[in-house]
Chains A and B, each alone.
Chain A
Amino acid sequence: MTSLDTQGDPILLEMRSITKEFPGVKALSNVNLRVMAGEIHAICGENGAGKSTLMKVLSGVYGYGSYTGDIVYQAETQQFKDIRASEAAGIVIIHQELALIPELSIMENIFLGNEPTKWGVIDWAEARKRSMELLARVGLREDPDTPIKEIGVGKQQLVEIAKALNKSVRLLILDEPTAALNESDSQHLLDLILGLKGKGITSIIISHKLNEIEQIADEITIIRDGKSIETLNVKRDGVDEDRIIKGMVGRTLESRFPDHEPKIGEVFFEVKDWTVGHPQIQDRLICKGSNFYVRRGEIVGFAGLMGAGRTELARSLFGHSYGRFIKGQVYKDGKPVNLRSVRSAIDAGLGYVTEDRKSLGLNLLDDIKTTTVSAALNKISNYTVVDTRKEFSIAEEYRKSLRTKTPSVEEGVAKLSGGNQQKVVLAKWMFTDPDLLILDEPTRGIDVGAKYEIYGIIQRLANQGKGVIVISSELPELLGLSDRIYTIFEGAITGVLDKNEATQESLMKLMTSARKTA
């Protein structure tokens, strides 16, 4: 059945010189990928390198005939014409954006499109029995009747895997499975993938989180600019993160953070006893009497697990745009300020770059220039008439200074890559000229090169004497960037560490425990 490679290991899948073209763009050119049976194979590359396209070719999203090259799976050349054909062969892909229906229950989602029937009627008893088994296999303790919308992203990811297991999967493809998960959910998922490997299920995993790949992958194929560069064997080649990055960018990246000499001034922004209630649930607090301050020129990190209340704190400060405000006072330059609406927060010199760029940060129908000025239209208008010449020249200025890659500022933001979209969002807030800029996961979904640039922009803002708050789930990012780091646990600030005393371990301790010293 399965062929063997030179060392005698069974090969499950071989993709040979795959080439895929879109109008005007060659997304993949002669890509080769070989996956051994029973291994975890990682695919690494920058955004836009062609990883997802390759997986779409494999799973039949781009059907046979729309690409050139051969897919040999289980020693046979395959011609998957659509996703059903590849699923029938035991290849299941779990996309980055989960394909679950929020209103349906866990059980209904697992069996969606694959319902067990008896004489054409859904056999719910059977479905329940099987979903219990599947949930046990993925380690999810939830009632199968729970609606998907009531469980977190981490658990939803497990439901997706249960759904895949139900289809008797042999090759599981996971596209950025941990992108939206916190550390403990990620760890659980990685353990599960390792467990599945023990049961003979082969996995292909695409991820930007190189530490995770290093941890679980047996082999790594690196793709750059639509070409397969190399395949590394993690154990044999002694691969580490720097080695992967070298492959991804074509040379070693000496430093992941630009050099920065902080110029920290006096305290100018202070929050006292900030208390906010949950928007729906009475009596539940999402911010529990938080106190913190920011100094001029300072980059302040906020560390916390997902759901700890970091975003909630930021958004409630930013014009009470989240939750029920209960009490607390904000002081700017020693004077109390009122931040009752987003407008007043902007006027008071605050800016907030959201973690959810696509649904909260951008109007994807807009072009770059409209977006750049959209939070400060009053600055370019006379008697409410927008000066479109000024608009253009301002957008042009930011395009140059942030080095946004685009043919023109009249390009739609939807066409930009994640890193460039983030630059446009940053430009929008920089143009409001805030004194304090709150950045919520500023580098989420952005590749290594663009991250470096975004860090540079953040440091430049601090050098101009602005305060910057960075909220991030990536501890190395916070450690590399911040001058001081606050930790949040269950809505309360549990500690603050200086740059030189903070380590991943010390932060993690504070992020997972109740208040010690504030």
Chain B
Amino acid sequence: MPTHTLPDANTLINQLAAAIQPTLTPNTVLVGMHTGGVWAAQQLHGLLDVSMPHGDLDISFYRDDFDKIGLHAALKPTRLPFEVEGRDILLVDDVLYTGRSVRAAMNALFDYGRPARIRLAVLVDRIGDRELPIMAEFVGATASVPRHQHIHLIRDDAGQLSLKLVEVQ
């Protein structure tokens, strides 16, 4: 599938914002998952009428493939500038694929407190490839790509987001 068939990231973010806005409560916070989810959460935060700051979550310490891949990737700090206890959390990621990252993210959040609710918003849902019983409440677009390809959210120097297909080595 050539790159130009992937949807435009900004369009997806605008669509997501429109869908999320009516469901916001004063207790809602956005939490982006590093790295693509953090970029998406930042943009959504700018479009949505939320008073609380958004959080950034690194799931490296909660991944289920640590025994296979170790701690190689550059770690990003987790920053949650609010109490997680009792909060309405909207978890944001770029791509929902196997569901394993979201499982790790929920475990990480629970080590900070007991949220009242966690929902999930993703730019792209890779349908048919789920390995865990996880689904997103807000989906920008669905896509079906072969297993040897990944969908990456990338950010250019001007801060513009776009989606790109990458071959898995």
Pair from one complex = no
